[in-house]
Amino acid sequence: MDGVTREQLAAAPAAYFEAVDRKDMAATLAFFHDDATFTVQTAGLTFAGKDEIEGMFTTFFADYDVIRHGVTNLVVDEPAARAATEQTCPHVRADGTPETVVTCNVFEFAPDGHFRRVIVWIDGVSPLK
């Protein structure tokens, strides 16, 4: 797609995960297009628009003291304006319980470089709700 370079497609997921890991709501939401959708495929959940996505992140940030996304794989499809990642996520719940899941995310980009659609697969119980 015009306007989104391979370099932007490759860099955005890591920068997004850094914002999430800092629990920086403003920086996290800045990645999303106003009418974006965020789907947790393995939990059958879809959040539509920034308000619903913010609500999901508000709960996620409150439920975890430590959030980490270690990207282990990245695939970029420049003609389709998509990137996909695999990450290992060693999180620590607010009650101190450690929890590690492996996740895969697919990011579909709008021509302006914002996420238009994010799809997540989680190998365990979803911390996103």
129 falls within a domain: no
- The CATH number of residue 94's host domain is 3.10.450.50
Q: How far apart are CA 14 and CA 50, in angstroms?
A: 20
Say what the pLDDT of residue 1 is: 41
Of the listed ranges 10-24, 44-58, 114-128, the least confidently predicted one is 114-128
Flag whether 91 is in a domain: yes
Distance set, CA 33 to CA 51, 52, 62 (Å): 11, 13, 24
Q: What gap in Å lies between CA 69 and CA 17, rounded to an integer?
A: 6
Q: What is the domain count for the chain?
A: 1
Can you give the residue range of the structural domain that contains 87? 6-122
Does 66 reside within a domain? yes
Whose CA is closest to 24, among 50, 49, 61?
Answer: 61
**Residue at 52: amino acid letter:** E
For residue 41, is it within any domain?
A: yes
Q: Which helix (H) or strand (E) holds 21?
A: helix 6-21
Tokens of 5: 């370079």
Mean pLDDT of 107-121: 97
**Residue 128 belongs to a domain:** no
Residues in Cβ contact with 2 at an 8 Å cutoff, skipping those fewer than 6 apart: 111
Give per-residue pLDDT as tens, 51-62.
Answer: 999 999 999 999
Report yes or no on whether pTM surpasses 0.85. Answer: yes
For 83, the token pair is 């990137």
Residue 83 is assigned to a structural domain of this protein: yes
Q: Phi and psi for 95 in degrees, rounded to 5? A: -85, 5
Residue 127 falls within a domain, yes or no?
no
